[in-house]
Chains A and B, each alone.
Chain A
């Protein structure tokens, strides 16, 4: 099975900061990597698919990069509404699959 490891598990940043979350796959997964945002009490929301494609309607503050085993989600300028947990997910073995353990983003 593919394991997905995110870092950090949590972070605190100021409004306007650039925030980076990393995700590492236990084996190469090409670009079969998605990113989701999840706020408490709400349904999760896809931000990025295929490692770097921005989902329609998602703010351009969000961007993704990477391929193979190493991936990054970047928030270019952190806003209050970005407080949430963020998850990477692989879609390599079967559609779709394992999530990373999540990164909780808070405002400093």
Chain B
């Protein structure tokens, strides 16, 4: 059974830092792109970052570029999100998600097929 379990959330002051972790099990972790997605209170889903299977490529939403860093440890089946210079607007539930890939009519399609339950990050003084 595929499982993704986030940890590391909590209350942090503006300007502070936090590191989220996501423990993966039930699938060959090193074979998959992985992502972080967040949902601020009362708001919709926002894609945050992606990382390639071997960590050689990463992508970020503009609002976190230069402040957040996605990484992974394939030996430990773990995904991370290092968050620096946190702002009130970073307050959200952060989900890790597995990216699955399939070919449909010659198109290489990516989508999130498994998600964790989320970890709450609150940035407040």
Count of chain A to chain B residue pairs whose CB atoms are closer than 8 Å in the complex? 81
Taking a contact as CB atoms under 8 Å apart, the answer to whether A91 and B109 are in contact is yes
Closest B residue, CB atoms, query A55: B113
Sorted from nearest, which 9 A-B pairs have the closest CB atoms?
A95-B110, A102-B44, A43-B115, A50-B104, A34-B111, A49-B111, A94-B59, A50-B109, A96-B110
Name the distance in Å between B14's Cβ and chain A's nearest Cβ: 26
Candidate in B50, B104, B114 with the most chain A CB atoms within 10 angstroms = B104
Residue in A30, A44, A85, A94 whose CB lies within 8 Å of B115: A44
Name the distance in Å between B70's Cβ and chain A's nearest Cβ: 12
> Which residues of B have CB within 8 Å of A44?
37, 45, 95, 97, 112, 115
Name the distance in Å between B8's Cβ and chain A's nearest Cβ: 17
15 additional contacts (CB under 8 A) given A38-B45, A96-B50, A99-B44 = A31-B105, A36-B112, A43-B114, A45-B115, A49-B102, A49-B109, A55-B113, A91-B109, A95-B33, A95-B50, A96-B47, A96-B111, A97-B47, A99-B46, A101-B44
- Determine if B62 is an interface residue (Cβ-Cβ < 8 Å): yes
Taking a contact as CB atoms under 8 Å apart, the answer to whether B111 and A91 are in contact is yes
- Determine if A1 is an interface residue (Cβ-Cβ < 8 Å): yes
Chain B 62-74, CB-CB to A under 8 Å as 1, else 0, gives 1000000000000
